Amino acid sequence: MDMIELIKQPWSWYFSGIMIVAIMLMLIFWGKSFGFSSNLRTICSMAGAGKRTGFFNFDWKAQRWNLLFLIGAIIGGWISSTLLSSPAGLDLSAATVTDLNALGIGFNGGINPDELFSLQAMGNPKVLFLLVIGGGLVGFGSRYAGGCTSGHAISGLSNLQLPSLLAVVGFFIGGLVMTWLIMPFIF
Amino acid sequence: MMKSVKFILAGILFGIVMSKSEAVSWYRIQEMFRFQSFHMYGIIGTAVVLGTISVWLIKRFKLKDTEGLPLVFKDKQAPYLRYIIGGVIFGLGWALTGACPGPMFVNLGYGYLAMIVVIIGALAGTYLYGVIKNKLPH
C-alpha cells in the first residue's frame, strides 16, 4: 500500500529521466530503436497512403511493434489518471501561471488547460483550428526532420549524432518563436 | 504472443512515466520555453547523460541484443538542412499544442479526448510531408 501511495505522487525529473533511458535500453536490447513519430507514418501507410505516395509504400508490418508500444502508451496514460491519480495538483511555476493568465489561459492544477483541451473548448472553431494546425506542424516537422523528441533528443543525442543536435536546436528555435512571438497574437 | 505483450508493457511504462512526471503537460512545455523551471530540462538532461553513457558502454563492450545479434546504431545522414528546417516546424507545433507525437497519445489515454484533434492534424501533416517531400529542400 505504501508503495502504491509513493507511485501516486508526481514523479521527480531525475526518476523520469532514468526511466526514459530504461525504456530506450529495453527497446535497444529487443533490437528496436526508440522513436515515436514513425508511428504517424506507419498509420498513414496502414490507411492506404502507400497506393498514392511512394513515401508511405513500405513494409509497415515490420513496424507493428511500435504500434503496440503506442497502444501501451495510451493504456499507460489511462492507468496514470485512474489507478495512479495524484491528489496533488501540478506544481507549476508562479511566473508561468502569471504569464499564461495574461494570455487568457487559467491554471487549476490540471496537466492541460481547459481553454484548449476540454470538450467545451472543442465547440470553439478557433481552438479547433489551432489544435489541428499545431498537430499538423508537429507531424510535418517530425517527418521533415526525420524524428521527434524521442528519436532525436533522446536516441539521437545519446548516440552523439550531429543531425540530432541540429534537430533539437531547431525544436527550441521553433518553440521559442511560437511561445514568445506568435502566441501573444493568436491567444 | 509474448513478443507482442512486451512491447505493449514497455508502452504502458512509457505512458505512466510521461504522465506521472508531467512531461505530457501543456503547462510544463510552456514553463520550459519560458525558462521558468528546471523540470523539463532535468528530465531531458538526465535522459541524455545516462543515455550517452549507456550507448557508449554498449559499443565499448560490443553488447548483443536478446536474440544474440550485435547491436548496431544507425548514423543519421547528411544533408543537414532538413534537420534544422524540420526541427523549427516541429518546435512551432510543440509549443502550440504542448504535445510531441508520444505525449499526444498518452494524453488521449489520460482522458483528454480533444487530443484526437491534434492527432488528426499530426497525421495530416505527416501525409502532407510524404506528398510534397520531393519538392522540399533537404
Three-class secondary structure assignment of A50-89: HHCCHHHCCCHHHHHHHHHHHHHHHHHHHHHHCCCCCCCC
pLDDT score for A116: 98
**Domain range list for chain A:** 1-85
**A chain contacts of residue B20, beta-carbon cutoff 8 Å:** 7, 10-11, 16, 80, 84, 86
Q: What is the mean pLDDT of residues A41-65?
A: 95
More confidently predicted of A179 and A52: A179
**Count of helix runs (H) and strand runs (E) in chain B:** 6, 0
The DSSP symbol for B68 reads: S
How large a percentage of chain A has pLDDT more than 70?
99
Q: Can you tell me the distance from the alpha carbon of A72 to that of B14, in angstroms, rounded to the nearest whole number?
A: 8
Paired with B64 in beta bridges are B70
Please tell me the distance from the alpha carbon of residue B102 to that of residue B95, in angstroms, as a whole number: 15
Q: Which residues contact A52 (CB under 8 A, 6 or more apart)?
A: B131
- Interface contact flag, A166 B80, Cβ < 8 Å: yes
Q: What percent of chain B has pLDDT over 70?
A: 100
**For the whole model, what pTM was predicted?**
0.96
- Rg over alpha carbons for chain B, rounded to the nearest Å, is 18
Per-residue pLDDT, A118: 97
**Which residue in this structure is represented by grid cell 501525409?**
B127
Grouping H, G, I as helix, E, B as strand and the rest as coil, residue B91 is: helix
* B68-75 long-range contacts, CB within 8 A, separation 24+: B69/A31, B71/A28, B71/A29, B71/A31, B73/A159, B74/A33, B75/A159, B75/A161
pLDDT at A1: 57
Query: Maximum Cα–Cα distance for chain A, whole Å?
Result: 55
pLDDT tens string A108-155: 999 999 999 999 999 999 999 999 999 999 999 999 999 999 999 999
Minimal C-alpha gap between B98 and chain A (Å)? 9
Contacts of A95 in chain B (CB under 8 A): 34, 36
Report residues of chain B scoring pLDDT below 70.
none
> Are B18 and A76 contacting, i.e. CB atoms less than 8 angstroms apart?
yes
Q: Residue A133 to residues A111, A180, B28, B130, B133: CA-CA distances in angstroms?
A: 21, 18, 20, 17, 19
pLDDT digits (tens, 9 = 90+) for B37-48: 999 999 999 999
Mean pLDDT for the stretch of residues A42-71: 96
Average pLDDT, chain A: 96
Pick the closest to residue A75 from B14, B97, B21, B116 (CA basis).
Answer: B14
- Tens of pLDDT, residues A67-106: 999 999 999 999 999 999 988 889 999 999 999 999 999 9
Chain A residues within 8 A of B16 when measuring between CB atoms: 76-77, 79-80, 84
For position A88, what pLDDT does the model report? 84
Q: What is the pLDDT of residue A3?
A: 84
